[in-house]
């Protein structure tokens, strides 16, 4: 059995769905169901005995210990986190509580479970982290590799960096068989519409402005979420404990390019009633404080050591993504409820 945390969020739910589609091994899914957690993502698993959902927090050590004792998983895959940079700027406390303290409590419970099980060499603690821990790049800097120094710039990335250090220390000090992945920006189905790509698709269809921070020339390296899930399966299967793996899409794009690509796809797939391009809705707004200019992942280690490469280009992945949002308007309506509107007012006032 796998013990997944945060499996009702964007990447976690894609991981659980893909896992159960290709394996008979059951999944125990612990999620606190914050605003970002949504059981609707897992609706297709209703009645599937391979999926056991538990509502609770990774910071609840007693609960995690009990789940480990009852279900005896062979691995923990930790997605649970507060994940949105802009929210961490408005209020960092939840990021410290979940990303740092929560990961600490999860590690403590994992250590007790693993020690009690005669330190089984085959046990794995896979921690999902981010490229944001490496800080920001200039246009001609080399991409982030696994040895790049940590220089987190936002409360979010600082909290993720702290959790990565704890995970590393539990391997170095106690020998816990940990694996860490640092991946670039994901996109695809079930992406909560506070993040750039789903926000822009949703706003475009509602006739709202498409907000680009600053000059829109910031660069991200886009990774289709299903490719990320296949990379995680590979790392879980063959990764070397104590080692870290960067996961990227080899798809650097400026934010302006990304938003224009979405507009062009919508022009093709769902043209505006007035025949004008969605590009006309693009609006430049106040920049994010401390906004990192460029992220880029050097994903050669995972390719050379574990034989993984992404299968989607940005063009193929964004077409699938826009198509998914057009086909799943009800999912979008369900997640953009009252509290979501409050967030938009706070962030884009």
Cβ proximity of 225 and 14 under 8 Å: yes
Q: Is 218 in the site for ligand DAU (CB under 6 A)?
A: yes
φ and ψ at 86, to 5 degrees? -60, -35
Question: What count of other Cβ atoms lies within 10 Å of the Cβ of residue 271?
Answer: 12
**CA 253 vs CA 4, 39, 215, 245, 258: distances in Å:** 31, 32, 14, 22, 6
Residue choice 103, 130, 148, 180 for contact with ligand DAU (CB under 6 A): 130
Q: Is 321 in the site for ligand DAU (CB under 6 A)?
A: no
Mark whether 46 is an active-site residue.
Answer: no
Q: Is 80 in the site for ligand NAD (CB under 6 A)?
A: yes
Q: Which does 176 bind (CB under 5 to 8 A by kind): ligand DAU, ligand NAD, none?
A: none
Q: Smallest distance from the beta carbon of 245 to ligand DAU, in angstroms?
A: 15
Determine the 3-state secondary structure of 20 from DSSP.
Answer: helix
* Closest to 9 (Cα-Cα) out of 48, 65, 53: 53
Q: Smallest distance from the beta carbon of 148 to ligand DAU, in angstroms?
A: 14
Question: What count of other Cβ atoms lies within 10 Å of the Cβ of residue 123?
Answer: 18
Q: Which does 310 bind (CB under 5 to 8 A by kind): ligand DAU, ligand NAD, none?
A: none
Q: Which does 10 bind (CB under 5 to 8 A by kind): ligand NAD, ligand DAU, none?
A: ligand NAD
Q: Is 255 in the site for ligand DAU (CB under 6 A)?
A: yes
Q: Which does 213 bind (CB under 5 to 8 A by kind): ligand NAD, ligand DAU, none?
A: ligand DAU
Cβ proximity of 182 and 244 under 8 Å: yes
Determine the 3-state secondary structure of 319 from DSSP.
Answer: helix
Which residues does the annotation mark as catalytic? 131-132, 156
Contact footprint for ligand DAU (CB under 6 A): 83-85, 130-132, 184-185, 195-196, 199, 211-213, 218, 220, 255, 288, 295
């Amino acid at each position: 059995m796998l013990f997944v945390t945060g499996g009702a969020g964007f990447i976690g739910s894609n991981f659980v769905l893909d896992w159960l589609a290709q394996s008979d091994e059951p999944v125990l899914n612990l999620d606190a169901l914050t605003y970002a957690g949504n059981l609707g993502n897992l609706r297709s698993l209703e009645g599937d005995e391979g999926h056991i959902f538990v509502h609770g927090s990774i910071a609840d050590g007693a609960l995690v210990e009990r789940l480990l004792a009852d279900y005896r998983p062979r691995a923990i895959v930790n997605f649970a986190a507060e994940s949105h940079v802009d929210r961490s700027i408005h209020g960092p406390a939840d990021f410290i509580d979940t990303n740092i303290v929560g990961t600490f409590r999860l590690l403590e419970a994992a250590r007790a479970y693993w020690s009690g099980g005669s330190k089984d060499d085959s046990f794995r603690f896979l921690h999902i982290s981010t490229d944001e821990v490496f800080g920001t790049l200039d246009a001609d800097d080399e991409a982030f590799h696994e040895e790049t120094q940590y220089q987190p710039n936002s409360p979010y990335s600082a909290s993720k960096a702290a959790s990565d250090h704890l995970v590393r220390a539990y391997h170095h000090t106690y020998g816990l068989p940990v694996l860490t992945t640092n991946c670039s920006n994901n996109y695809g189905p079930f992406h909560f519409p506070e993040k750039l790509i789903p926000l822009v698709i949703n706003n475009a269809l509602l006739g709202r402005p498409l907000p680009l921070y600053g000059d829109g020339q910031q660069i991200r390296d886009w990774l289709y979420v299903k490719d990320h899930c296949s990379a995680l399966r590979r790392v879980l299967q063959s990764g070397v404990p104590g080692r870290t793996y960067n996961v990227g899409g080899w798809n650097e794009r400026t934010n302006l390019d990304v938003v224009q690509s979405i507009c062009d796809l919508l022009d093709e797939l769902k043209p505006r009633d007035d025949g004008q391009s969605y590009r006309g809705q693009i609006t430049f707004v106040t920049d994010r404080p401390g906004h990192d200019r460029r992220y880029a992942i050097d994903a050669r280690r995972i390719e050379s050591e574990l034989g993984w490469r992404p299968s989607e280009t940005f063009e193929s992945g964004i077409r699938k993504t826009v198509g998914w949002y057009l086909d799943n308007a009800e999912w979008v309506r369900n997640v953009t409820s009252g509290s979501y509107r409050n967030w938009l007012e706070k962030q884009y006032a």
